[in-house]
Amino acid sequence: MKILVTGGCGFIGSHIVDLLIENGHEVVVLDNLSTGNKENLNEKAKFYEKDIRMNLSKIFEEEKFDVVIHEAAQINVRSSMENPINDAEINILGSLNLIELSKKFNVKKFIYASSGGAMYGDPEKIPCDEEHKINPLSPYGFSKGAVEWYIVNSGLKFCVLRYSNVYGPRQDPKGEAGVISIFIDNMLEGKKCFINGNGEQTRDFVYVEDVAKANLIALEKEGYFNIGTGEEISVNNLFEGIKKVVGKGEKENRDEIKGEVSRISLDVSKAERELGWKAEVKIEDGLRRTVEYFKK
Ligand SMILES: NC(=O)c1ccc[n+]([C@@H]2O[C@H](COP(=O)([O-])OP(=O)(O)OC[C@H]3O[C@@H](n4cnc5c(N)ncnc54)[C@H](O)[C@@H]3O)[C@@H](O)[C@H]2O)c1
């Protein structure tokens, strides 16, 4: 298939691109390189350095994509609170631009990177399934839910993947998201790791290659699915786990961040049942691989 991956120079998008190419697909990447890096770009992919908010009609008309996998986004929760207009312009209007283009140019499937963690808010039930109410604590989370609404009501065939916390090689350690890459980077550089609040908040950490596999399967499936592990790990336990692999590490607690959920893990039984997908990489193994990458 001919597949457009937006955000294909970013962390998750670049792993999806690699896996699609490995599986014989023709891949076109569109990325404005705001947080992405051209070093992540697979050399077999065609590249457009463009913004998803631009008029992209000519590209859609010429390329005739079978599938759009939409990963490009403003991913910083804190910046979405400080500058909600910028967040909505990129995450809502930029996504809507791609949805309208996909309708106009007969794209056969729209696959979207949503966020379980940001959309469900503090879940009433853990692990949290797809039927949980949408209750975002930030404009970023709201933007994910809003785009899902546009997709579901677009008439396009779609597959929405609601990721938990994704980690692994190529995640930007200097960014705001990605506690695992930030901790590893700080430990390797002999710097302190800052823990927001008391560190007992929990997350569901899924390895990036498992997420890429879910996108490959989504080419053939429809619906909306949680993509995570179903396991809860506290930030304190995570710190100790990484410290064990790196061999050193210091921590300091600081104020908690508004808009962050306190506990979450995703119920992934629907993805197991309907996609035949299950996270395969255990956290110990994923941490080891990620530390190896950052050491290089
Ligand atoms: N990382 C996670 O834990 C996580 C969890 C849930 C959902 N997601 C979603 O997965 C997707 C990928 O996230 P990531 O962690 O790889 O982030 P990332 O920042 O590494 O990747 C985003 C990519 O999009 C590009 N981009 C940003 N704004 C753009 C614009 N206006 N036009 C064109 N390109 C633009 C960036 O340059 C970057 O390459 C995002 O939609 C994010 O919301 C991520």
Closest of 2, 41, 277 to residue 162, by C-alpha: 277
**Predicted pLDDT of residue 259:** 64
The predicted structure's pLDDT at residue 115: 96
Angle subtended at Cα 235 by Cα 230 and Cα 237, rounded to the nearest 5 degrees: 85
The residue from 48, 112, 120, 140 that is catalytic is 140
Q: What is the pLDDT, as a whole number, of residue 261?
A: 82
Residue 134 is given by DSSP the state: P
- Domains in the chain, start-ordered, CATH in brackets? 2-168+205-228 (3.40.50.720)
Contacts (Cβ under 8 Å, ≥6 apart) of 184: 173, 242, 246, 290, 291, 294
Q: Are 12 and 212 in contact (CB under 8 A)?
A: yes
| 124 CA to centre of ligand 1 in angstroms | 27
User: Looking at residue 260, what is its pLDDT?
Assistant: 75
pLDDT tens profile 240-257: 999 999 999 999 999 987
**Ligand 1 centroid vs 26 CA: distance in angstroms?**
21
Tell how far the Cα of 99 is from the centroid of ligand 1, in angstroms.
Answer: 17
pLDDT at 127: 96
277 and 220 in contact (C-beta within 8 Å)?
Answer: no
- Print burial letters for 116-138: b (CB count within 10 Å at least 16), e (below 16): bbbbbbebeebbbebebeeebbb
pTM value?
Answer: 0.97
Q: How far apart are CA 129 and CA 265, in angstroms?
A: 9
Residues of the chain with pLDDT under 50: none
179 lines ligand 1 (CB under 6 A): no
